[in-house]
Every structure is written in C-alpha cells, then in structure tokens.
Structure 1
C-alpha cells in the first residue's frame, strides 16, 4: 500500500490519548507528528490567516508517511467546536494542506461520550453539576453579554453523521474511515490488528500496552474534585472559584490521579448514574436520526437503543427543548 498521510481527527473520549501515547509512535516506517506541531500547523492560525504551505512546513518533511492524531481537529469538547464553525473550518484546512490524506474518525455512543465529557470538565477544574454543564446558557439572562460570547457545551457536536458527511465530500468516502469506540474497547488487540491491515501499518502488537491512558473518576471522587476545584481559577472557563491558591491546581491533579488509581474513587461515574434515566432517554431520541444515518454509513455493531423514558420521570422543560431542537 502506497504511504499516504493518516489524519486521526478524534472524537474526544474515544481513546485518542492512548493512540497518541501507546500506538502511533510505535508504528514502523511512519512518522508520528507530535500534538504540539499539529496544533501549531492546523489549529493555532486565525481562520483568515491560515496558509496551507506554512502548515506543511510546520508539519515537517516526509508528509506521505506522517501520522497526525489530535482530537481537537474534530472541534473542542467543551465548546461544541464553536458551534461547528471550528470543526468545519479545520476540515477545509486539512484538505488544503494534505489533500491525499486518509481520515480516521472514532465515534462513541452519545450518552457515554457526553457523560465522559462532563467528567473531563471536572478533571480540568470544573465545579458545576452536570445539568449546569450541559445547559449553561439557560442559567444566563437572554441579554447577558456573555450569553453568546463564551462557548459552551453543544449537543449538536455529537451528531457524528454531519461531520463525517463533510469529510466524505472533501476527501471521498473511500478515504474516510469511521470506527466505533465500543469495538476497540471490546477487543483492543483484535481491533488494532484489523486497523493496521486496513491502513497498511505495522507495529509490535504484542509489546503494546492496552491499558487505558486516562482513568475516569468514581462518583465519590468526582464530588471531592469538584469541591477542590473551587480553590483554583484554572483551567476551564465556566466555573466558580472561591479563592485562587497558587499551585493548588497541579497539586490537586496529582492527588486526583493517585486517588483514581486506588480504592478512594468510589463506584464508577457512568452515563446512567450521572445523567439519570430521563435525560438518557432524551439523548437517545435526539440522536436517533443521526445514528440511523451513521449505521447506513459504517454498519457494524450498532449501539443499543434506550427504552422510552417513564412518564413519571419526565425531563425538565430545558431538556425537552434542547433535545427536540
């Protein structure tokens, strides 16, 4: 197979950190481009000042063997890809810079991805509960100056079929390869062997560490970290800070990682425990059409469909409004 650039655009919370740390750097005969260089080349430039030639120069020589993996290429996790504008513009940047690239997209059941996004928000310094995180705009007055100036979580970011269709148009459907995270998680070595065969890659699978690169937070630890985050102004935009203690962010992150690896984390914080049955069912309904299009596009194992929510636990009006939009 003739080498061509491989660009893995995400999504977030689909083992991209593991790909970056444990797999892509070990692929033989290919050049893994570090994340900072990818960001400098494709994400940092202003939209009206982006230059493909400069991007290629930053990415380095031998682009036909290059592997890029940066989840923010699909859009920021906590800002919905700036209402999709960043996600769309970055796709055009990649096309202008690496027109013969093979695109890799990994998607995840939306409810699990959204719950994991909230946990990541807390790990990054967030203090709000899950409802405030998901529906932050509803807590502002309609004429508040920050209503549209501060990007926030967007459900639309997880309608995967829209971004995939855009990449299909730009690169050709045969050059856009979409995978389900659940298949990777079920059988990591088997998934990677099939992945390598499809893309003509070689790596010592027997020597690869398949343990997750990022560990989640248990329910008990999640509450403790939210409280600890009130004493640092870092690092997410939408949060509450009682007082900023210098160095507390780094110290608390170290303590968090140690606790997450031990028995102090508590029971796992899953989509079911974080979101509750009503919102889970609403999320499933919101993405039904998108997932049907995704099933037609990639086939394979499909996500299980949630049963309809019980009328006795009908979601608040903001959930219905958001999920029906």
Structure 2
C-alpha cells in the first residue's frame, strides 16, 4: 500500500487538490474512509490525524503523541482497493500565522507513523504568498495590522506570529529529504496550475507511478472574496473581527471596482518587492536547483 501525504503550503491550491485529486474521484488515489467535510466538496483526508487528541477531545500535548496508535487508525481507515491512499492538510508544514513553528513537529510525527510515505509539498512565489496570507488574515482572523506590520511582528515573544523565514521553503524540503529520502519528496510550484492543470499534477502522478487522467477542472476552488479583504486593508485598525464589522467591510468591498482591487494587490506586491529585496534569493536558487524548475520565469526572486 502506498501513502501520499500532502503537507501544504497553505494558499497553494490545497482546496483544488483536495477537491479534484484527493476526494476519491480518481479510482487509483483514494482518501481515508469516512474522510471529508460536511457541506463542502473537498476532502481534507485524515486532516486531524497527526494532531491526535485525548478522550476529552483536546489535542494532545506535543510530548504525548502515540505514533503506534495513529498508524493503527490510519490502517483501519485505508481503502484496500486503493493503489494510493492520500492524507492531506496544508497546515502540516506549519501554520503561517504562527510562523510555521509546528512544522518540524508534524514532520517528525508523519515520519514516525508513515515512514514509507511519499510527501507532497506545493510552493508558491513568496510575494504572492504573503499577500494572499495577509488578505486571509484580515478576513478570517479579524486581523487589524497593516501589511508592513504583518511582516514585522512585534509580539513574537508572547506567542508566535507570521515570520518571513517560514517561506524559506528549503528549510522544510531539506528536512523531509533527510527523513524520507529525496526521491520520495515531491515539490511542485503552485504557478504551474495557472499554465495548465495537467502540468501541475503530472509530477505528482509520476512520483507515485500512476497514470494521470487526461484532463482536470481548471476552476479555482475556495477563492476568497478579495474585494472584502482589500476594503479592510484600507482601514485595518477598524477591523475587530466581529461579524457586524466584517459584514460592513464586505458591503464596502462591493463598492470597489475590479480595477481598483487589482491595482491594490499590485501595490502590495510592489511594496513587498521594495522592502524585501533579495531576502528570498539565496533560498530560491537552492529551490530551483532542487526542483529543476525555472523559478525566475514563475516570478520567484532568483
């Protein structure tokens, strides 16, 4: 039995993968039995598996994880007819709003439970990733920081928050290479999906010795209401996260033209480019060497 474990990153086609590849629509690639989310089309197969929890329903302390029990549970939920069983949670690389601090703990847990697994990591050019994460932060987390404040947290010692170094992808990739072996760690740039879904999924199927279907939906999944987030970004201090406040910003966002929304996002990218400069350049060069993709053509800083 082969296992594929998709660990992220967030904001990098996770919902698309969970809808079109990991939901059971492809006979050769199946989610765990009884997986899924009510009233949603996508399947976060085994999404809570490596968190584990006690009889009271609380997540276990990091020191109490029982790899043997979790492996037994995964085996009991594995479809015997599947050529490949998928587990997927984009948060296993570490949550961006917490600086990815849990990423190493999850990698160790995954290896302890499924050392034979193939790992899938989807990366995305960092400037786009940061803007996407920031807009999500405003709408879904009730964030009230400017973009500049978001990338320069001042209360990190109180609790973890976003950190730029979390998007130095080679830190995560290198560690998974050491654990699972480079030939079982598949790294795919998110940007390929904008060119063709076939070029995006081909390396995933190739790594698993599976034949990819001839075509996939190119429809984006779980797309955020960007105008809503852009409206908040204009006056972030007024954002309390309260539903009434969010509703007001959402109504205001509807008044913004599509041209203004696009221009605002471009301004954010330019701001980050000016502030960060070559911050990611060295890591991206190593990423380009590791993956073999021309990342500069995909707008990575190389």
TM range (shorter): 0.7 to 0.9
Q: Is 1:131 matched up with 2:140?
A: no
- Is 2:188–2:203's contact at 8 Å kept on the other side of the alignment? no
Q: 1:27 is matched with which residue?
A: 26
Higher mean alpha-carbon deviation, 297-306 vs 183-192, is at 297-306
Give how far 1:228 is off: 9.4
- Is 1:281–1:306's contact at 8 Å kept on the other side of the alignment? no
SS in 2 for 1:267: helix
Segments of 5+ residues of structure 1 without an aligned counterpart are 138-145, 232-239, 308-325
Q: 1:183 is matched with which residue?
A: 192
Q: Is 1:268 matched up with 2:283?
A: no
Higher mean alpha-carbon deviation, 208-217 vs 112-121, is at 208-217
Q: Aligned residues, how many?
A: 278
Question: Are residues 126 and 6 of structure 1, via their aligned partners in 2, closer, same or farther at CA, if it must alter by over 3 Å?
Answer: same
Q: Is 1:77 matched up with 2:96?
A: yes
Q: Is 1:224 matched up with 2:231?
A: yes
Q: More helix per residue: 1 or 2?
A: 1
Q: Is 1:5 matched up with 2:3?
A: yes
Q: CA RMSD in A?
A: 3.3
Question: C-alpha distance in 2, partners of 1:264/1:272?
Answer: 12
Segments of 5+ residues of structure 2 without an aligned counterpart are 36-42, 52-58
- Is 2:188–2:200's contact at 8 Å kept on the other side of the alignment? no
Question: C-alpha distance in 1, partners of 2:66/2:26?
Answer: 29
After superposition, what is the alpha-carbon deviation per residue over 1:33-64, rounded to whole angstroms, capped at 9, x for unaligned?
44666343213432101011222244343377
Query: TM-score with structure 1 length normalisation?
Result: 0.73
SS in 2 for 1:286: coil
Question: C-alpha distance in 2, partners of 1:32/1:8?
Answer: 11
Task: Show the 5 A alignment for 1:1-325.
Answer: 3-25=1-23, 26-33=25-32, 34=35, 38-43=46-51, 44-59=59-74, 60-62=76-78, 65-82=84-101, 86-124=102-140, 125-137=142-154, 147-201=156-210, 204-206=213-215, 208-218=216-226, 221-225=228-232, 241=240, 248=244, 259=254, 266-268=260-262, 272-277=266-271, 279-304=272-297
Question: C-alpha distance in 1, partners of 2:204/2:246?
Answer: 36
Give how far 1:12 is off: 1.4
- Is 1:122–1:222's contact at 8 Å kept on the other side of the alignment? yes
Question: Are residues 306 and 24 of structure 1, via their aligned partners in 2, closer, same or farther at CA, if it must alter by over 3 Å?
Answer: closer
- Is 1:28–1:201's contact at 8 Å kept on the other side of the alignment? no
SS in 1 for 2:261: coil
After superposition, what is the alpha-carbon deviation per residue over 1:174-219, rounded to whole angstroms, capped at 9, x for unaligned?
111111111222111333245324423456554x42211132455x
Question: C-alpha distance in 2, partners of 1:187/1:217?
Answer: 24
After superposition, what is the alpha-carbon deviation per residue over 1:62-105, rounded to whole angstroms, capped at 9, x for unaligned?
377320121100000211112xxx11111010000001000011
- Is 1:105–1:176's contact at 8 Å kept on the other side of the alignment? yes
SS in 1 for 2:87: strand
